[in-house]
């Protein structure tokens, strides 16, 4: 039953969701219902008719068959590959129709899915064993063949029928247990099967040093390894021989390729009478469907399917396998068929009915999960320590603990996905803005539902494109002169930013302001005529104006003056990884222009253009309405001050008086260089040692709130263009990427900017460096750039020297000096070692910056 079917279920799950969020935030064991594992599950052999008896009896199969019996091996522990005979405990001879009792505890690794048998269950098959547990293989990921499937044993059904009546059926799935325990019920509560206490406690376990940040890192690790696999799921050619469609269009392929290109902006469209639309998949031999998923879009209106039937079989002898009614509100990916147990040569998808009695149909994508692929995604082997080098907080934790924690997070995301449509304010039957979502923003990366919700919210708030395109006359020569020397024009009227702002003002009272909520296809917001430049603007001039405005707001070169007063450089100039960031100017009161900046950011989010603003995370978080903290967020603004206050809090009285004497008063310097009082009338009051903690608190409060009004104005402009629901569903990192783009750092670009000192570019160590960087992801290269230069985006010069220790050093970490953008490169024995050392340094050593002491002025 879905939450929308019953308000009791909906409210109960919302209460349970809040309880889970609080457990995550405060590092408490999660509720038992979320971690529920039944004490007993019965399994039966499921034959795969598409495999020969030879393959079934091979040593690598789940079970081998002999004369009506199936041999199932019991192992000491799950193995990553073909298990060694040393781990074999004994074999079970399972007769036809026999059920094997096991616990509900499952374990998935690279080799396959395993289930555990406890001592009592082992004794049923072989007595006198001196072991507490054994493991049997349910199915393998690498190949098909026989597998074990959970069933309800006949004896158990009869026994329960005698005791409780024939309708008795205890809850055995964790989702059912959540509803049983948290939702209101008329009469007695549903019965829950006995739980496996040991397995439940394993899932609930929280390591003593675990923090909420560890959970967030685990989500990012999980997303990096699993999320991208799911994104690539659209390629179905490994499972399908061919696709036939009922299209009547002129395209010789009927547009069928649009369903497999991975692009949801393209679609297959079939013309004709209602009920006469179909897609026929001819499956490759041995493929057993686990899931068949269609991508739909509610914006297709009466082209969108309302009812879909799936048939399967051989030749023209097809039988109905499923009949699915599509919820008009919950669109995106719709599973129309799942959990097939045998190979079917032909699968036919029939569109029975469309929304609003529509005649034609559109399908935007097909995805397939098969028992032939490693479809579980999450497996224990992916949490081995060598894979965690980019996540230092996770490295010291046992891989088994990480695996089980990820399993519980996966369950939590499944619960969250079922509730998301009811928690965002743009939906018809919402509960209102769900503030608890702000605490688990990073978890939303794993959500399967939010992408469709974001698309729907943007579509619902869309307006028609303007009746005419504004034409602006821009003098870039004057803008360049102003950029070189801003002091000549304090009003900044010659800056491109101001020229565009003034040019977009309505010329009369009847003219409307631009609302920036146009369809995504409207990709040019205004037309530029550059004075004294021969350009006909067909989009290029418009994009140039955006680039000029971005450069004026946040100059990419630290040597250039800032030509506009709206943003000011952070105090990290010259140190740390956030040296190229800007924050809103605390002393600038032109709030209407901040609001316009917010509107431009919203337009970039909705459209295909970018407004590149080098803002630190603390600003993006506040734009999203998220909480910010001094220790986590403010180092990106002024890392020296953060270190200074940390040292001040822990120093003794003698050191305090020596360092500060009578010079420290109740004032602080803001990002724009202005001085403010921390307490009214106390600007000349000397801070005493006993009052230093109160002074620290006041400084932190003043600095965290220094740009509050300016950010509030930017947020107001952003919300005029983008619904609050969209911001609720995005992380701040995603907002930054959608507004500013994701700058790509290529190896070729790095080579162009690199100079060698006391080295030749042809030397082996240099070749190893480039081979290592070629194997890096774009994020890895961004981290490497930060490690060497302190800047995360190009351009940034790089100078490479031999390592300081001498050419014989082969196992040391590389060193860098961010002031001079220098990398000291050891003479590593191989490209692989070079890659490992560079990656470790890039992710673990960037915070160790000795360029400046916190005591230096």
Provide the phi-psi class of 830: left if phi over 0, else alpha when psi is between -120 and 50, else beta: beta
The question of whether 819 is a catalytic residue gets the answer yes
CA–CA separation, 809 and 826 (whole Å)? 6
- Which of these, 572, 649, 581, 658, lies nearest to 852 by C-alpha position? 572
Q: Tokens 């450069």 sit at which residue?
A: 551
User: For residues 115 and 42, is the Cβ–Cβ distance under 8 A?
Assistant: no
CA–CA separation, 707 and 671 (whole Å)? 9
Q: Which residues of 591-622 are buried (b: 16+ CB within 10 A; e: fewer)?
A: eebbbbbbbbbbbbbbbebbbbbbbbbbbbbb
Question: Which DSSP state fits 662?
Answer: T
At residue 95, φ and ψ (nearest 5 deg) are -75, 165
Provide the phi-psi class of 458: left if phi over 0, else alpha when psi is between -120 and 50, else beta: alpha
CA distances from 710 to 481, 504, 824 (A): 27, 22, 42
Question: Which DSSP state fits 665?
Answer: B
**Which secondary-structure segment (H or E) carries 549?**
helix 540-553
Question: Which DSSP state fits 326?
Answer: P
Question: Which DSSP state fits 86?
Answer: G
Strand 822-825 with 798-802, pairing: parallel
User: For residues 580 and 792, is the Cβ–Cβ distance under 8 A?
Assistant: yes
Beta bridge partners of 676: 668
Q: Report the greatest alpha carbon distance in the chain.
A: 96
DSSP 98-157: --EEE-S-EEE-SSEEEEEEEHHHHHTTSTT---SEEEEEEEESS--S-EEEEE--HHHH
At residue 557, φ and ψ (nearest 5 deg) are -100, 130
- Which of these, 705, 685, 708, lies nearest to 697 by C-alpha position? 705
Q: Which of 248, 682, 819, 845 is catalytic?
A: 819
Question: Which DSSP state fits 472?
Answer: E
User: For residues 309 and 352, is the Cβ–Cβ distance under 8 A?
Assistant: yes
At residue 764, φ and ψ (nearest 5 deg) are -60, -45
Provide the phi-psi class of 313: left if phi over 0, else alpha when psi is between -120 and 50, else beta: left
- Length of the chain in terms of residues written: 857
Contacts of 848 (CB under 8 A, 6+ apart): none
Coil, strand or helix: which one is 845? coil
DSSP 206-253: --TT--HHHHHHHHHHHIIIIIHHHHGGG--TTTEEEEEE---SSSTT
Task: Give catalytic residues, as residue numbers.
Answer: 819
């Amino acid at each position: 039953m879905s939450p929308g079917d019953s308000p009791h279920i909906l409210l109960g799950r919302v209460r349970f969701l809040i309880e889970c969020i609080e457990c995550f935030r405060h590092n408490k064991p999660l509720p038992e219902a979320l971690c529920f594992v039944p004490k007993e599950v019965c399994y039966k052999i499921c034959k795969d008719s598409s495999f020969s008896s030879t393959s079934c009896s091979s040593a690598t199969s789940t079970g081998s068959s002999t004369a009506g019996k199936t041999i199932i091996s019991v192992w000491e522990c799950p193995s990553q590959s073909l298990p060694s005979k040393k781990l074999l405990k004994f074999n079970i001879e399972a007769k036809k129709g026999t059920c094997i009792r096991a616990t509900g505890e499952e374990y998935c690794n690279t080799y396959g899915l395993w289930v555990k048998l406890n001592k009592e269950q082992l004794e049923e098959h072989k007595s006198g064993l001196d072991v507490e547990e054994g493991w049997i293989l349910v199915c393998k990921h690498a190949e098909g063949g026989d597998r074990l499937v959970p069933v309800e044993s006949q004896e158990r059904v009869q026994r329960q029928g005698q005791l409780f009546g024939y309708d008795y059926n205890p809850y055995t799935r964790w989702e059912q247990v959540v509803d049983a325990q948290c939702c209101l019920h008329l009469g007695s509560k549903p019965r829950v099967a006995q739980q496996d206490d040991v397995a439940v406690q394993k899932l609930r376990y929280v390591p003593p040093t675990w923090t909420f940040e560890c959970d967030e890192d685990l989500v990012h690790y999980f997303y990096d390894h699993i999320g991208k696999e799911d994104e690539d799921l659209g390629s179905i050619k490994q499972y399908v021989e061919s696709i036939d469609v009922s299209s009547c269009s002129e395209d010789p392929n009927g547009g069928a390729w649009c369903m497999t290109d991975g692009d949801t902006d393209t679609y297959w469209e079939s013309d004709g009478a209602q009920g006469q639309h179909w897609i026929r998949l001819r499956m490759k031999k041995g493929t057993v469907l686990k899931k068949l998923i269609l991508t739909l879009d509610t914006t297709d209106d009466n082209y969108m399917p309302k009812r879909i039937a799936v048939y399967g079989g051989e030749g023209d002898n097809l039988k109905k396998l499923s009949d699915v009614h599509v919820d008009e509100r919950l669109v995106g990916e719709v599973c129309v068929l799942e959990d097939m147990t045998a190979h079917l040569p032909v699968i036919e998808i029939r569109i029975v009915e469309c929304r609003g009695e529509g005649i034609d149909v559109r399908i935007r994508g097909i995805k397939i999960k098969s028992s032939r692929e490693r479809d579980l995604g999450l497996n224990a082997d992916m949490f081995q320590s060598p894979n965690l080098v980019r996540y230092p907080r996770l490295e010291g934790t046992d891989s088994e603990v990480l695996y089980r924690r990820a399993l519980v997070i996966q369950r939590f995301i499944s619960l969250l996905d079922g509730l998301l449509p009811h928690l965002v304010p743009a939906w018809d039957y919402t509960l209102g803005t769900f503030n608890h979502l702000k605490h688990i923003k990073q978890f939303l990366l794993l959500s399967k539902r939010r992408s469709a919700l974001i698309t729907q919210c943007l579509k619902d708030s869309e307006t028609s494109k303007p009746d005419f395109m504004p034409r602006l006359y821009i003098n870039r020569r004057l803008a360049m002169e102003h950029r070189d020397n801003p002091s000549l024009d304090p009003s900044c009227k010659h800056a491109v930013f101001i020229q565009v702002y003034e040019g977009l003002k309505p010329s009369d009272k009847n003219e409307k302001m631009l609302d920036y909520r146009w369809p995504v296809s409207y990709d040019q917001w205004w037309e530029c005529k550059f004075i004294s430049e021969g350009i006909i603007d067909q989009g290029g001039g418009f994009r140039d104006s955006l680039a000029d405005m971005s450069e004026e707001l946040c100059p990419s070169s630290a040597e250039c003056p800032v030509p506009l007063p709206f943003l000011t450089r952070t105090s990290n100039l010259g140190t740390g990884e956030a040296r190229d960031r800007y924050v809103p100017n605390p002393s600038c009161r032109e709030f209407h222009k901040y609001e316009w900046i917010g509107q431009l950011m919203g337009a970039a989010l909705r459209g295909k253009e970018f407004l590149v603003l080098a803002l630190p995370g603390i600003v993006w978080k506040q734009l999203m309405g998220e909480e910010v903290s001094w220790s986590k967020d403010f180092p990106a603004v002024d890392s020296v001050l953060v270190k200074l206050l940390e040292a001040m809090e822990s120093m003794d009285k003698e050191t305090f008086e020596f360092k500060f004497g009578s010079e420290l008063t109740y004032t602080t310097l803001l990002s724009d260089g202005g001085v403010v009082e921390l307490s009214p009338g106390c600007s000349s009051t000397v801070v005493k040692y006993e009052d230093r903690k109160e002074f620290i608190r006041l400084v932190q409060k003043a600095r965290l709130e220094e740009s509050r009004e300016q950010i509030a104005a930017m947020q107001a402009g952003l919300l005029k263009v983008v619904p609050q629901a969209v911001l609720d569903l995005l992380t701040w990192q995603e907002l930054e990427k959608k507004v500013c783009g994701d700058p790509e750092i290529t190896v070729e670009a790095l080579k162009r900017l690199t100079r060698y000192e006391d080295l030749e570019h042809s030397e082996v160590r240099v070749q190893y460096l480039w081979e290592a960087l070629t194997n890096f992801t774009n994020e890895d290269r961004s981290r490497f750039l930060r490690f060497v230069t302190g800047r995360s985006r190009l351009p940034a010069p790089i100078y490479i020297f031999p390592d300081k220790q001498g050419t014989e050093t082969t196992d040391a970490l590389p060193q860098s000096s961010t002031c001079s953008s220098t990398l000291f490169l050891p003479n590593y024995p191989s490209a692989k070692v070079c890659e490992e050392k560079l990656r470790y340094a890039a992710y673990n050593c960037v915070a160790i910056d000795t360029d400046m002491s916190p005591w230096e002025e």
